């Protein structure tokens, strides 16, 4: 019995730390472009003496993750070559290849830190959300993330005297600030709602049966609003080599791939949540308590993460 108790604690722990750990350390979300000049000169990030390989890949799955990076590099090179080639030598099969490679590229890329996975996972932990809604939410995040880059890329590409990398950095920082503020608002709203539920239902948790559409939209928008740097670079490439329409196919593919990865992670979180609650289903009081802890912890985590994202504006 004691073992079961600790097992439940372990499961809840995994649920909360998986989104963070699975998607990378917190400090790597919203990475800034190291090439962009900073007005303040930037902050030196020198390694400590004797530790030149800090933050180098470690862990059991190092090889797999490194092969993901290698795969992205190969897909990146293949896509740029294919788009250049198709510009002069059009074929339908090449268009289909570009679409499929882009889907894979988007899916692999979205495995990295960011892309709204932490926020979505935390939200799923506390709310009842159907698979259909999860698909929709993943699509909203992916479309916002990729198509904000498309709009930005077109602006940068068309205004010839614009400093692309500096403006990209400025836009990224403001988008992070907006994203962070919206996420904090969502987190605070969910916390207030939890408290109200507790007050009115004598401890029984009664989450909404269905997440309303406006909340999905706001959540997806706030999680995806920071423009995707990869898509932005591809759009500018398309303008540079005058093959913008082919680049659009790549952008649609990357968006689809991103949505697939976000959905898979969200689906796993739904399954884990159900599993954790099923362990204690025979004792409904314990299940209700776990559900309540999940609610509070995930709201707190959403607020914390929102603050973290918003603060990156100042970095």
Partner 1 sequence: MKQFRMIAVLLILLNSYPLFSHPHVFIDNQLKVKMTTGKVQEVRIIWMFDAFFSSNIIMQFDRNRNKRFEPGEIESVRQGAFQNLKNFNYFTFIEINGQNRKVQSVRDFSASISGNRLIYEFTVVVNAPVRPGGKISIWIFDPTNYVAFGEPKAAQVTIMGKKPAGSKISIINNKYVISY
Window 21-40: residues binding partner 1 (CB under 8 A): 21-22, 24-25, 28, 31-38
Query: Which residues, 95 to 124, sit near partner 1 by CB under 8 A?
Result: 109, 112-114
State the minimum distance, in angstroms, from the CB of residue 128 to partner 1: 18
Contact 187, 222 (CB under 8 A): no
Residues 23 and 29: beta-carbon distance below 8 Å: yes
By CB neighbour count within 10 A (0-12 exposed, 13-18 middle, 19+ buried), where does 314 fall?
Answer: exposed
Q: Which is nearer to partner 1, 203 or 275 (CB)?
A: 275
Q: Does 177 participate in binding partner 1 (rule CB under 8 A)?
A: no
Q: How far is the CB of 251 from partner 1 (least distance, A)?
A: 12
Among positions 244-283, residues that touch partner 1 (CB under 8 A) are 268, 271-272, 274-275, 278
Residue 138 half-sphere exposure toward CB, CA atoms < 13 A: 26
Under the criterion CB under 8 A, does residue 315 sit at the interface with partner 1?
no
**Residue 230 engages partner 1 in binding (rule: CB under 8 A):** yes
Interaction between residue 90 and partner 1 (CB under 8 A): no
Nearest to 237 by CA among 77, 115, 94: 77
- Cβ of residue 64: shortest distance to partner 1, in angstroms? 8
* Interatomic CA distance for residues 97 and 82, integer angstroms: 9
Q: Give the pair of three-digit tokens for residue 258.
A: 């991103």
Query: What would the 3-class secondary structure string for 163-194 be?
Result: CHHHHHHHHHHHHHHHHHHHHHHHHHHHHHHH
Q: Are 210 and 130 in contact (CB under 8 A)?
A: yes
Site string for partner 1, 206-225 (x = CB under 8 A): --------------------
- Which among 147, 36, 108, 152 has a CA at the least distance from the CA of 262? 108
Judged by CB under 8 A, which of 56, 132, 282, 285 binds partner 1? 56
- Rg for the chain, CA atoms, rounded: 21
Residues in the chain: 315
Q: Does 52 bind partner 1 (CB under 8 A)?
A: yes
Q: Assess 157 for contact with partner 1 (CB under 8 A).
A: yes
Residue 267: other Cβ atoms inside 10 A: 15
As measured in angstroms, the least distance from the Cβ of 264 to partner 1 is: 11
Q: What is the DSSP letter of 45?
A: -
Minimum CB–partner distance for residue 278 and partner 1 (Å): 7
Span interacting with partner 1, options 141-149, 155-163, 186-194, 204-212, rule CB under 8 A? 155-163
Binding residue for partner 1, selected from 1, 2, 6, 45, defined by CB under 8 A: 45
Give the footprint of partner 1 on residues 282-301 (CB under 8 A). none
Q: Which is nearer to partner 1, 159 or 195 (CB)?
A: 159
Q: How far apart are CA 118 and CA 212, in angstroms?
A: 20
Among 5, 9, 77, 90, binds partner 1 (CB under 8 A): 77
Q: Looking at beta carbons only, is 69 or 192 nearer to partner 1?
A: 69
Would you say 85 or 189 has its CB closer to partner 1? 85
Residue 170 in contact with residue 217, Cβ under 8 Å? no
Can residue 195 be called a binding residue for partner 1 (CB under 8 A)? no
């Amino acid at each position: 019995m004691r073992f079961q108790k600790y097992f439940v604690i372990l499961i809840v722990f995994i649920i909360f730390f998986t989104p963070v750990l699975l998607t990378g350390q917190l400090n790597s979300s919203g990475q800034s472009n190291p090439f962009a000049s900073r007005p303040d000169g930037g902050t030196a990030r020198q390694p400590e003496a004797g530790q030149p390989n800090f933050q180098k890949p470690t862990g059991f799955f190092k090889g797999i993750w490194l092969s993901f990076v290698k795969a992205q590099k190969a897909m990146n090179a293949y896509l740029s070559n294919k788009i250049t080639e198709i510009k002069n030598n059009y074929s339908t099969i090449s268009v289909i290849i570009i679409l499929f490679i882009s889907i894979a590229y988007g899916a692999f890329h979205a495995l990295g830190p960011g892309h709204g996975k932490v926020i979505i996972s935390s939200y799923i932990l506390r709310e009842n959300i159907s698979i259909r809604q999860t698909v929709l939410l993943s699509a909203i995040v992916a479309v916002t993330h990729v198509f904000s880059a498309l709009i930005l890329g077109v602006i940068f590409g068309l205004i010839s005297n614009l400093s692309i990398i500096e403006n990209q950095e400025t836009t990224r920082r403001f988008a992070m600030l907006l994203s962070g503020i919206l996420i904090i608002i969502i987190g605070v709203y969910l916390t207030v709602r939890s408290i109200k539920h507790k007050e009115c239902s004598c401890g029984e948790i009664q989450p909404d049966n269905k997440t309303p559409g406006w909340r999905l939209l706001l959540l997806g928008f706030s999680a995806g609003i920071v423009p995707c740097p990869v898509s932005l670079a591809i759009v500018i490439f398309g303008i540079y080599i005058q093959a913008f329409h082919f680049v659009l196919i790549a952008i649609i593919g990357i968006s689809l791939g991103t949505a697939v990865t976000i959905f898979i992670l969200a689906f796993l979180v739904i399954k884990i949540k159900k599993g954790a609650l099923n362990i204690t289903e025979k004792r409904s009081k314990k299940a209700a308590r776990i559900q309540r802890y999940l609610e509070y912890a995930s709201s707190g985590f959403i607020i914390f993460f929102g603050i973290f994202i918003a603060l990156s504006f100042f970095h």
